[in-house]
Amino acid sequence: MSLINDALKRAQESQKKNSPSGIAPLRPVEGGSHGGIGWMIPAAAILFLATAGIFIALALHKNKTPAVATGQKNSAPQSAVVAPAPVASVQPVSNTNASSSPGASPDLPKLQGIMYDATRPVAILDGQSVSVGDRAGGFHVKEITKTTVTLEADDGSQKQLELGQ
pLDDT value at 70 more than 50: no
Cβ burial 109-133 (10 Å sphere, 16+ → b, else e): bebbbbbbeeebbbbbbeebbbeee
Average pLDDT over residues 123-151: 90
Res 53: pLDDT: 92
Q: Quick: pLDDT tens for 21-68.
A: 667 777 887 766 556 677 888 899 999 999 999 999 888 877 665 544
Strands of 81-82's sheet in order across: 81-82, 111-116, 122-125, 128-130
pLDDT value at 16 more than 50: yes
Question: Higher confidence at residue 144 or residue 75?
Answer: 144
CB 136 within 8 A of CB 142: no
Tell me the C-alpha to C-alpha distance, in Å, between residue 119 and each of 84, 116, 122, 151.
21, 9, 10, 19
